[in-house]
Amino acid sequence: MFNGEMYDFNYQFDHRLPEPIKLYPGDEFATQCVYNTMNKNTVTLGGQRTTNEMCFHQLTYYPLQNNLYSCFTLNHPDAWHTISNRVSTTSNHTELVDWINTIEWTPTLAAQWQEFYNHASRLVTYSIGNNSISETLDVLPKYKGLQKKSC
């Protein structure tokens, strides 16, 4: 629906839908980011830096939904341990980043990692009131994308 070629912390703005979307009880709403880093010869990590990949969507809605504060999804830590062949489930993030940066990437290995990312289980965490709830999503649901509209 939107094509943000790059993110700049100093230039933030809203993308507005051409028409409001009505959601009803039982409806599902999904967002997706698509990246292309084929022009790079180094690893692109996820994170908050401008050079990292980040998929962050903040939605404005009406009427107010009481107590829903956040919802986020990330690759499940167990999936990372499986692909990195590490036994410990307590490896820290710095060690994982260091390990990824030492990999000698080939087209075959890059394709394997893309396959991993496409099929890795996800950890879904959301906050309702003072409670944080986490669930494992074993397989990403298949969503049909909306047709593009001009704004």
How far is the C-alpha of 50 from the C-alpha of 115, rounded, in Å?
A: 25
Tell me the whole-structure pTM to 2 decimals. Answer: 0.65
What tokens appear for 140 in the block? 């990403």
What was the pLDDT predicted at 26?
A: 81
What was the pLDDT predicted at 86?
A: 60
Considering the chain, what percentage of its residues have pLDDT values greater than 90? 5
In a domain, 116, yes or no: yes
- What are the pLDDT digits (tens) for 22-62? 888 888 777 777 777 777 778 888 777 777 777 777 777 77
Backbone angles phi, psi at 61, to 5 degrees: -145, 160
Range of the domain at 108: 68-137
How far is the C-alpha of 91 from the C-alpha of 105, rounded, in Å?
A: 22
**What value does the mean pLDDT take over residues 61-82?**
80
Which amino acid type is present at position 81?
A: H
In a domain, 5, yes or no: no
What was the pLDDT predicted at 135?
A: 92
The domain tally of the chain equals 1
Q: How confident is the model at residue 88 (pLDDT cuts 50, 70, 90)?
A: low
In a domain, 147, yes or no: no
What was the pLDDT predicted at 134?
A: 92
